[in-house]
Structure 1
Amino acid sequence: MGVSGMWIWFGGGVEKNQYLYFRKTFDLRDFSEARLKITADSRYVLYVNGRFIGVGPARGWPFEYFYDVYDVTPYLVRGRNVVAVLAQYYGISTFKYVRDNAGIYVRLEVRDGNGDIHIVESDGSWRVRPADPYVRNVPRISCQQEWIEVYDARREIDGWNKSMFDDGDWSNAVIVESSKKIVCRDIPFLTRIPRPPVRILRIRSVKPPKYTWYIDLRNNLLPGKYDANPDKINGIIATVIYSEKSQVARLRFIHPKWVCPQGPIRLNGNDVEKKDGYFILNLNKGGNLLLINVTGRYHDWGTSLLIDSEYKLVFKAPLGLEGPWSTFGPFSNNEEFKRVWNTRNEEDLPKEYVKPLRWIDYTDHDIFALTVFQKKVDKDVRIDNDKALLSLNEDFTTIYPNGSDIEILFDFGEEIYGNIYFELIAEEGTILDWNFFETLEENEPKYMFGLNNVMRYICKNGYQRYEGIVGRGFRYATLTIRNLKKPLKIRKISCILTLYPVSNRGSFTCSDELLNRIWKMCSHTLKLCMLDTFVDCPTYEQTLWVGDARVEALVNYYAFGELDIVKRSLRLAAKSLYRSPLPESQVPSGWKNILSTWSLLWVLAIEEYISYSRDIDFLKEIYRYVVETLHNLEKYMGEDGLLRIKAWNMLDWAPMDTPSDGVVTHLNILSVEAFRRGAKLSKILGDSENEKLFLRNADKIRLAVISRLWNSSRNGFIDSIHSDGERSNVISMATNSLAIIYNCVNKEQYSILREKLLNPPEDWVKPGSPYGMFFVLEAFEKLGYYNKIVEEIKDKWINMLYNGPGTCWETFNGTRSYCHGWSSGPLYFLSKIFLGVNVLKDVLIVEPKLFSLEKVEGNIPTPRGTIHIGWIKNNDCLKFNVEIPFRENVKIILPSYKEIKVVEGKCNYKIEEKMIVEFKGPSKIRLILC
């Protein structure tokens, strides 16, 4: 298909969180094939003749934006047809989207019976209007994501996406300028699998807090800022609270400070005391001037708060401005700030600093606050046929009004990701508030502060159905029904799973059921972290963090063997070099940020992908970015052979000493390996000049690490040397593990660390997350401590298995995300060690470790086919089988036995210190050794 055509939008202007309906009708006499290409900035939902077709696009940089292609032949008819598109424009950058010009692009090519092509494409003849059901003045989901979903079905335009709808009062689209280069989607479409909840944990009556607010400060205090870079604001939020009586009210901010601007509060000029998380407001009868100092540095600029009181309150912006709130600032100096902050009454406020809040920048119903802080009410709830809430059949559940809001707590059985769906019969104005979260704590919801994982649906009258457009991760959900005046009928509650369509080619079972369950937990975790790229987590961020993706790719090679998602993730990181000297930490993102460890792991991940896939075409494509990265890396090297990179230099969520400037040990060690891997790639492509350069750099840094970063009195590598020359007194397991993994040690250091890592001193910093633990486990593997790997996996991952949503947590103590792809590493080690195949090696060697377990069986996916391996230890004998489905010379290395019997297949063998068996694939070999 060609790429000609126009980008179009609405002539009524471009705003944040904007939703539009587009339509184009056309007539067909006959057709044999029809393919439709579409993309949008920022999101589209496509329909043809009223039939849902798909959602997109996949994430991409503005200069290389992705379009999707659909075969729409089955959905066209002779006569009148319509292509209809719901489009959303975010208007701000996120961690997975970089703001650019709004628009949609569509091109439909229809082949008729004569083979002629007829084209329908986006232009000024398309019809467009605002999609009013989608409410726009809503909070962000998080600083990493876009806006929450609020849908008001009372504003629906019935049949807008069907061919016979009359769009005569709609506007013509306008053609918009776009410099985007669009390229075809490079991964499959995601799945669409409905998953209902499996149980109802409770049903109760509840009462919400009286007053909740969300206030977006970006437009007023950071005018013109659309990126996702953290930034400072200097300003004040103000309102006058009118109380019908003197009373004590309580105010609290909802989310953590770094994503929810908050600070000291003054009421009528007096500082307000904070107690147990609440500010205590001693309100006078009549007007009370409330000032909130939101000065500070934040990663998002939306304030969420609630105020609870016994008697009615009315909120009015000071100085006669419209609306309930206003802002003062941004202030250019402290004196300007003090003029407002020290004011005791409304009349004395300086008018020159005040700004009204636009309607789109605030809302008086913060759904997260309403659902999290609602209180139980002692009223019985009547529900008929509650079993239908757990089914996808045609039965309805009926919920009866009782004068209160009604909350239902669902368990979907395991962590999932997708779009919520339901059908209902309701009275107009009934409200459904959803709050989605990952785990329970003492049988109560553990709500996800810092994340508005919520949605609201406002009912129209009669039958209706709805599928959300926001994908979200969760296991549990509360559904709160508000304003219920007549019985509500509801059915087919489900989550439409929208994940990367993996093939479960890898498998692992053994005689230790705990290890089996941990392997499956890791597989499920990784699957949930595979969307249109690898992502860190399906819930909080849904972000392609480049360092996380390296571990995820390694686990994928043993679990699924998918290739396209690996290439796509590596490509997106490479393209960040257009604005940064090293690949950025998360891409494609509005936060321009280098996390130098992640940049180096990206180089390792490329070499690992090439070793696994043998995809030379991709190497040729990506190689220039590797060279650019390593040449830029060389510029950070000092005369002493050590690198100093001013950047975010973390390795793990642990109290390591990794400053943003100076010499950071783990970065230097990883740089050694990055240069080595770069040299290997150069050799494959015959680039001897860069191969030699990269190896020289690797050797130089390695020698400097060994000689300059070792603490001889404490027998370990220090974490860093600060920019002022002070040597760190912190020694960590992660840093020293990397030294072992990548051979940045001399013989004496190796001997010392071999013992220290097995029994680390108390003052060595231990891994703070499964990600940091991955490097320690790699070191144990390098040292041959296989029993220790299994011991650590059981000890560290068992808590995740029996608590939480059945997935691997971001940190061992479960502080935030309960489904994190970087924590799925045990799958990689269990398959690699017990099945015995290193899929990254150039030669195929099968060398399973036979300790501790009695029985192991599993599959290892490779691009050429799936390898099957199984073994059973029985008394003094070993039954071993392997099946290789492709042409390859294979070597099996097993412990030495006295006798060997070849039960099936042809092979050569010899008995030395170990049993060596060689054969050629494709073949199946079965052996008995005694």
Structure 2
Amino acid sequence: MSREWQAQWIWGDGEESPRNEWRCFRKTFEIHENDIRSGSLRITADSRYVLFLNGTQLGRGPVRSWPSELSYDTYEVGHLLKPGEKNTIAALVLHFGVSTFYYLRGRGGLLIELEYAGSTREIVASDASWQTSRHNGHHPRSPRTTCQQAFAEYIDASAWDGEWMREDYDDSDWRNAIVLGPVGMEPWTTVKPRDIPMLTDEAVYPVRVSSLAKVRSFSLTATVDVRNALMVGSEDHANAIQFTGFVATSVRASQAGKATLGFLASGECLRALSLNGEIVTDDRLYGSAPERYVDVDLLQGDNLLLIDVSGSIHTGKLQIGVYAEDCIELELTSPLRFPDSHEQSAFWAVGPFDYVMLIDHQDNRKLDSEHPVYLNLLKSVKTAVDLNSYGQWLRPIDRKYISEADVFSLCVWRKEQVKFAVPSQLQNAVIPNAQAGIVPTYEGFDTELVLDFGKEYSGYLTFEVEASEGTILDGYGLEYMTDTYRQDTFGLDHTIRYVCKSGRQFHESPIRRGFRYMAFNVRNAKSPVRIYNVKIIQSNYPVAEIGRFECSDPLLNDIWEISRHTTKLCMEDTFVDCPAYEQAFWVGDSRNEALVSNYLYGVQDIVKRCLRLVPGSKHQSPLYADQVPSGWNSVIPNWTFFWAIACREYYEQTADKAFAIEMYAHIRYTLNHYLLKIDDNGLFNVKGWNLLDWSPIDQPNDGIVTHQNMFLVQTLRCAAEMGRLAGEDAESSRFDQAAIRLDNAINTHLWDDEKQAYIDCIHPDGRRSGVLSMQTQVVASLTGVARGDRKETIDRYVTSPPKHFVQIGSPFMSFFYYEALGKLGEIGLILEDIRKNYGNMIDHGATTCWEQYPNFVENRANPDMLTRSHCHAWSSAPAYFLGKEVLGIKSLAPGWSSVEVSPAPNGLGWARGSVPHPDGGTIDVSWTVNESSKSFKLSVAYPEGVSLQIQIPDGYEAEIEQTVLPQA
């Protein structure tokens, strides 16, 4: 039992939930005793914290949680306390002020309590005596990173003392904290101890400076958060919205001349535009989407820019860049004037004229795009004066939604770029504790150097620099580049702008990033810039690399290794889809990721944590959300099904019956709601995001989708098994019967006798799909819905896919394909597909597994773009199947109390490796094949208490060595 809290929730003055506020807290106290035996510190915050004690950074947190079940962290700190001296606790709290895909907006708050003991027990708890200040070096107007995440980073080191967390810092000009209330207050009605270990801190350094160039980019940039600026209340959720409206500003030029306007948003916030009343026609725009550019003639003075930002948006970020020659000075100014305004916004909103908040993909409400004012405005506004006639629709955009520098655009767009050979002295920048790497500077240009970390990592960027005050260091992380192509991360702004103070200085970012390459752009340097000790603090769930695999095929070894590294990078406080673009816990993805993790690391706390988080979404939907905890009310039915199946698989992995019973109550709850969606024909019929694969299968967001119905059959069977574990035999029987009825309905209505295959769907109007896909046939085989003669037919499709069927389009779907092939004993086909698809990744230098296979629909406009995310854990299937099917290590009973070893050489000469046992120890397998003598040598070591069954491939004489390892 945790002790009762004496601490109170505290915050500073101002808004309850300020946008992108970094706030610092301090408490200095004296320890009068000379001997401290123990010290324990508990802390949580909304939204995230970084904790220091006596200048030492202790950790970051909290883990993602539902606001009503906020987690707190505990640190043992007795060794850091200073008896007989003054001590200082300090915390930096990052409050988002917006909902994301891993955070629901609450309010700013810090809760912290230290208990230490010498001859007596003392408590230092957060209350009104704590000192607080906004972090004045942090720029709260930095742009949104993505709709999934919070904000990019903008730091002015000259505006804030980086030593603020140390004991001797003078905080006399700080204010007393404001007490919000006791533990248990809204919105944090429950605080719970952290249920997983602290994440790792591992220093990783670059391996080289891969390029050096002098560059020239936009003369002027800005970013406008159109979503939050135009849509009141949109900070409280992360749902997509539709609206019609405009943004207006003026580009002030010191003299007339030619210029380039650039818009780099990810397909949002640019439907049309006009400059000085002239509508820019589509034929004048150039650049591959989402980059759009237009060359214009600027007049001397103010040039009215009116942008139609209407559409369906999730992030809703307008990114503007303007380039003109150096002789033309540029400024963004307000098109309208109000004499009593001292800080006039340069941007004005016109509208919205209509708007809709979209709940999930099933929401098909239509936006009124025919509003007469909206339709007429772009044609009628010729000058800034004309805007005044739209007074009821017109308002200045609050400056908090405007970033006066768009670092992403500055790092991506190039008017000029000249590359140079990298000097050997500059390579010092990648060597720990070496002499500084001196960055060359070029008159009239910025300098870009790109650091290569060798492979992708995920964590916290740190660096030391020596520079003159005002030097700007813009950092931009990306995942993939070649000598001739760089895949810029449109839709992801993980940039950092660091404005230097004078001298040598150190910065550690509190914002997580995932990248392989870090491009630093040095701007405004008045003296040489020296760079030292750039590194990333790799941060992931702590795992020992227990699982092993090696075989006679070097390609499979490389594929196993990138699968291992990908899985590790995507283990944070939950499994996450990717360390760069989203960092979101997608529920369906995690089912497959847990199976892979079982074969690599054998850890279960993270799996249990993921499974427990899902039912917390029932306030959003009784069908459970597809990513949690999230401000996006989104449901993918298959993702809920995969979660329920994963609950069953957790029991099979651990034999944890108590947890199975706990999860069964939640499974029963959501399945009872799913069964309400069974139609008169006995089929599951729902409006929703009916997704399985990124490919052109017929999976409409309304109607009867076959693969969904099949996975529901499997889920109902799993629920019945879980119910029997819970002693709910009557309820289990009901789920069994529901599975039988649904199975029969699928075979009655979704089988095409003429085409001898299952159709993809039945549309809401009753139209039967004409599409036949491998996805649907694979699921029919995997779930056992196909029976008898139909099973024989479907299994032939699985082993020999017909060319006229839609083919598998993602590594995620390949996981289910490999499962189906494994059930059929077709291990050779699994290896063939792995070599083909993952071998293609290796051929392109992949160090992690891609989200999609090349040439998927989103990539067709750019053949160099092989995938979106280059690190995606739903794609790590080989690390699971090589251990399970090639080494042949399989569990036969809950908790791995009985294990089978059934190697499948399929042309390999040898293989060896290990799989963690959930109770400790490993199952180690090594085998060698001699085809000429048809002999098979097998060695197996396993923990005592495990019942072992061995199956040797047919046709071989076997030599078997078994070793039983006693428990320590």
Cα distance 1:75–1:922, how it changes in 2: closer, same or farther (>3 A)? closer
- Match for residue 68 of structure 1 among 61, 73, 82: 73
Please say if residues 431 and 456 of structure 1, whose CA atoms lie closer than 8 Å, have aligned partners that are also in contact: yes
Please say if residues 381 and 406 of structure 1, whose CA atoms lie closer than 8 Å, have aligned partners that are also in contact: no
Q: Are 1:387 and 2:424 matched, yes or no?
A: no
Matches within 5 A, 1:644-793: 644-793=685-834
Partner of 1:820: 872
Cα distance 1:902–1:591, how it changes in 2: closer, same or farther (>3 A)? closer
Partner of 2:42: 37
Instruction: Report deviation, 1:636.
Output: 1.1
Q: Distance in 2 between matches of 1:585 and 1:802?
A: 33
Q: Are 1:283 and 2:298 matched, yes or no?
A: yes
Instruction: Report deviation, 1:398.
Output: 2.4
Partner of 1:91: 97
Instruction: Report deviation, 1:899.
Output: 6.0
Instruction: Report deviation, 1:268.
Output: 2.7
CA deviations over 1:205-260 (Å, ceiling 9, x no partner): 11121121101123431012221000112211101233344434322221222xx3
Matches within 5 A, 1:893-904: 893-895=951-953
Instruction: Report deviation, 1:806.
Output: 1.0
Please say if residues 952 and 958 of structure 2, whose CA atoms lie closer than 8 Å, have aligned partners that are also in contact: no
Instruction: Report deviation, 1:841.
Output: 4.1
Partner of 2:860: none
Cα distance 1:829–1:196, how it changes in 2: closer, same or farther (>3 A)? same
Instruction: Report deviation, 1:375.
Output: 4.2
Cα distance 1:485–1:669, how it changes in 2: closer, same or farther (>3 A)? same
Q: Distance in 2 between matches of 1:752 and 1:407?
A: 59
Cα distance 1:465–1:898, how it changes in 2: closer, same or farther (>3 A)? closer
Partner of 2:158: 154
Partner of 1:269: 277
CA deviations over 1:742-795 (Å, ceiling 9, x no partner): 110121111111222233223211111111122222221122221111101100
Q: Are 1:353 and 2:393 matched, yes or no?
A: yes
Matched to 1:395, the amino acid is Q
Cα distance 1:825–1:121, how it changes in 2: closer, same or farther (>3 A)? same
Please say if residues 903 and 953 of structure 2, whose CA atoms lie closer than 8 Å, have aligned partners that are also in contact: no
CA deviations over 1:291-349 (Å, ceiling 9, x no partner): 10111110012211212233333332222152322111122571332464321111121
Please say if residues 384 and 398 of structure 1, whose CA atoms lie closer than 8 Å, have aligned partners that are also in contact: no
Partner of 1:882: 940
Please say if residues 936 and 959 of structure 2, whose CA atoms lie closer than 8 Å, have aligned partners that are also in contact: no
Quote the sequence identity (%).
Answer: 36
Please say if residues 460 and 513 of structure 2, whose CA atoms lie closer than 8 Å, have aligned partners that are also in contact: yes
Partner of 2:360: none
Partner of 1:9: 11
Q: Distance in 2 between matches of 1:636 and 1:380?
A: 63
Please say if residues 463 and 507 of structure 2, whose CA atoms lie closer than 8 Å, have aligned partners that are also in contact: yes
- Match for residue 233 of structure 2 among 221, 224, 228: 224
Partner of 2:137: 133
Please say if residues 471 and 500 of structure 2, whose CA atoms lie closer than 8 Å, have aligned partners that are also in contact: yes
Partner of 1:866: 922
Q: Distance in 2 between matches of 1:571 and 1:527?
A: 21
Cα distance 1:632–1:380, how it changes in 2: closer, same or farther (>3 A)? closer
Instruction: Report deviation, 1:826.
Output: 1.4
Please say if residues 786 and 794 of structure 2, whose CA atoms lie closer than 8 Å, have aligned partners that are also in contact: no
Q: Distance in 2 between matches of 1:877 and 1:379?
A: 59
- Match for residue 247 of structure 1 among 257, 260, 263: 257
Cα distance 1:898–1:149, how it changes in 2: closer, same or farther (>3 A)? closer
CA deviations over 1:491-545 (Å, ceiling 9, x no partner): 1111111111111111111111111111111111111111111000000000000
- Match for residue 113 of structure 2 among 96, 107, 124: 107
Q: Are 1:313 and 2:355 matched, yes or no?
A: no
Please say if residues 209 and 422 of structure 2, whose CA atoms lie closer than 8 Å, have aligned partners that are also in contact: no
Partner of 2:407: 367
86-95 vs 772-781, greater mean Cα deviation: 772-781
Matches within 5 A, 1:434-833: 434-813=475-854, 814-833=866-885
Q: Distance in 1 between matches of 2:411 and 2:955?
A: 65
Cα distance 1:155–1:726, how it changes in 2: closer, same or farther (>3 A)? same
CA deviations over 1:378-434 (Å, ceiling 9, x no partner): 597996732321111252222344323111111110111111111122111111111
Cα distance 1:61–1:550, how it changes in 2: closer, same or farther (>3 A)? same
Uncovered stretches (5+) of structure 2, i.e. residues with no partner: 288-292, 339-343, 355-367, 855-865
Query: Secondary structure, in 3 states, of the residue corresponding to 1:60?
Result: coil
Partner of 1:47: 52
Partner of 2:30: 27
Please say if residues 100 and 630 of structure 2, whose CA atoms lie closer than 8 Å, have aligned partners that are also in contact: yes
- Match for residue 850 of structure 1 among 899, 905, 910: 905
Please say if residues 883 and 923 of structure 1, whose CA atoms lie closer than 8 Å, have aligned partners that are also in contact: no
Matches within 5 A, 1:305-344: 305-310=320-325, 311-320=328-337, 322-332=344-354, 334-338=371-375, 340-341=377-378, 342-344=380-382
Matched to 1:876, the amino acid is K
Q: Are 1:237 and 2:247 matched, yes or no?
A: yes
Q: Are 1:397 and 2:440 matched, yes or no?
A: no
Matched to 2:196, the amino acid is I
Instruction: Report deviation, 1:275.
Output: 2.7
Query: Secondary structure, in 3 states, of the residue corresponding to 1:605?
Result: helix
Please say if residues 347 and 397 of structure 2, whose CA atoms lie closer than 8 Å, have aligned partners that are also in contact: yes
Cα distance 1:401–1:895, how it changes in 2: closer, same or farther (>3 A)? closer
Instruction: Report deviation, 1:286.
Output: 3.6
Instruction: Report deviation, 1:868.
Output: 0.6
Q: Distance in 2 between matches of 1:423 and 1:26?
A: 31
Partner of 1:918: none
Q: Distance in 1 between matches of 2:826 and 2:93?
A: 55
Q: Distance in 2 between matches of 1:708 and 1:232?
A: 37
70-79 vs 887-896, greater mean Cα deviation: 887-896
CA deviations over 1:163-204 (Å, ceiling 9, x no partner): 232322211111125321111111111111111110111112
Query: Secondary structure, in 3 states, of the residue corresponding to 2:336?
Result: helix
Q: Distance in 1 between matches of 2:611 and 2:23?
A: 33
Q: Distance in 1 between matches of 2:503 and 2:949?
A: 69
89-98 vs 222-231, greater mean Cα deviation: 222-231
- Using the size of structure 1 for normalisation, the TM-score is 0.94
Count of matched residue positions in the alignment of Structure 1 and Structure 2: 905
Query: Secondary structure, in 3 states, of the residue corresponding to 1:328?
Result: strand
Matched to 2:78, the amino acid is T
Matched to 1:101, the amino acid is R
Q: Distance in 1 between matches of 2:285 and 2:79?
A: 63
Instruction: Report deviation, 1:901.
Output: 5.5
Q: Distance in 1 between matches of 2:199 and 2:831?
A: 34
Instruction: Report deviation, 1:76.
Output: 1.0
Cα distance 1:731–1:442, how it changes in 2: closer, same or farther (>3 A)? farther
Q: Distance in 1 between matches of 2:515 and 2:842?
A: 16
Q: Distance in 2 between matches of 1:871 and 1:673?
A: 35
- Match for residue 311 of structure 2 among 296, 309, 331: 296
Query: Secondary structure, in 3 states, of the residue corresponding to 2:677?
Result: coil
Cα distance 1:486–1:634, how it changes in 2: closer, same or farther (>3 A)? same
Q: Kindly report the root-mean-square deviation, in angstroms, between the aligned alpha carbons of the 2 structures.
A: 1.9
Partner of 1:213: 222
Q: Distance in 1 between matches of 2:261 and 2:788?
A: 62
